[in-house]
Amino acid sequence: MARYFDVHPVDPQPRSIAQVVALLRDDALIAYPTDSCYALGCQLDNLTGADRIRRLRNLDDRHHFTLVCADFAQLGQLVHLDNKAFRAIKAATPGPYTFILPATREVPRRLAHPKKRTVGVRIPDHSFVRALLRQLGEPLVSSTLMLPEAEEPMTDGWQIKEDLDHEIDAVVDAGECGKELTTVVDWSEGYPDVVRVGMGNPALFT
């Protein structure tokens, strides 16, 4: 059964954060809220977490995982950025954007696109996520919590607990969560290409 954590949306309890971090370090797969919608997440060196996400969401190996970062310094260690991308992405973060960029050697091969060697990165504007990442000390491997055949991502913590009780290890509920996907900007070819319009204003990259 998945553990259920009811945390404060603005000032999350340190004890709850510590417990979730301990689970992640023990190879847990969690569902957690962001500034856009719920996501599935696991630690970077969790060797089975990405495959569990793929099975749960019915994804193939070309799916772009997102590395959720605490800040821009952490993001910059994971992807290659030219000056133009650096300035534009820094100005738009934190926020509901996912950026697809060439991965550095810091990114495990199993998490990058098998042919392009690209990966998604993002910095959410969410109090719990920031607190969690600060204590974890590394990015979180993530994917939107959108089940096969669903038209919208999952947004209610207790419903996630009921539906995925035996599929994941923990659910974090921080109250009302966003109900839209992130805006995805592919910058892997050296220029911004908005491939999905979501919560983030696409006009910043057009």
Q: How far apart are CA 149 and CA 147, in angstroms?
A: 6
Residue 33, pLDDT score: 94
Q: Say if strands 66-68 and 118-122 run parallel, antiparallel, or are unpaired.
A: parallel
Residue 115, pLDDT score: 87
Q: How far apart are CA 124 and CA 57, in angstroms?
A: 21
Q: How far apart are CA 185 and CA 83, in angstroms?
A: 16
| Residue 167, both tokens | 């599929």
Q: How far apart are CA 2 and CA 185, in angstroms?
A: 33
Q: How far apart are CA 41 and CA 69, in angstroms?
A: 12
Q: How far apart are CA 182 and CA 160, in angstroms?
A: 20
Enumerate domains of the chain plus CATH numbers: 3-205 (3.90.870.10)
Residue 166, pLDDT score: 94
Q: Which residues pair with 3 in a beta bridge?
A: 170
Name the nearest CA neighbour of 67 among 43, 91, 37, 32. Answer: 43
* The model's pTM: 0.93
> Would you say 142 and 66 are in contact if contact means Cβ atoms under 8 Å apart?
yes
Q: What is the pLDDT along the chain (206 residues), one digit of tens a residue?
A: 999 999 998 899 999 999 999 999 999 999 999 999 999 999 999 989 999 999 999 998 778 899 999 999 999 999 999 999 999 999 999 999 999 999 999 999 888 888 889 999 999 999 999 999 999 999 999 999 999 988 889 888 999 999 999 999 999 999 877 788 999 999 999 999 999 999 999 999 98
Name the nearest CA neighbour of 63 among 170, 143, 172, 139. Answer: 143
Residue 206, pLDDT score: 84
Q: How far apart are CA 146 and CA 154, in angstroms?
A: 6
Helix boundaries (H) for 104-185: 127-136, 157-163
> Would you say 195 and 181 are in contact if contact means Cβ atoms under 8 Å apart?
no
Three-class DSSP category at 110: helix
Three-class DSSP category at 60: coil
Residue 203, pLDDT score: 94
Going 26 to 27 to 31 to 35, the CA torsion angle's sign is: positive
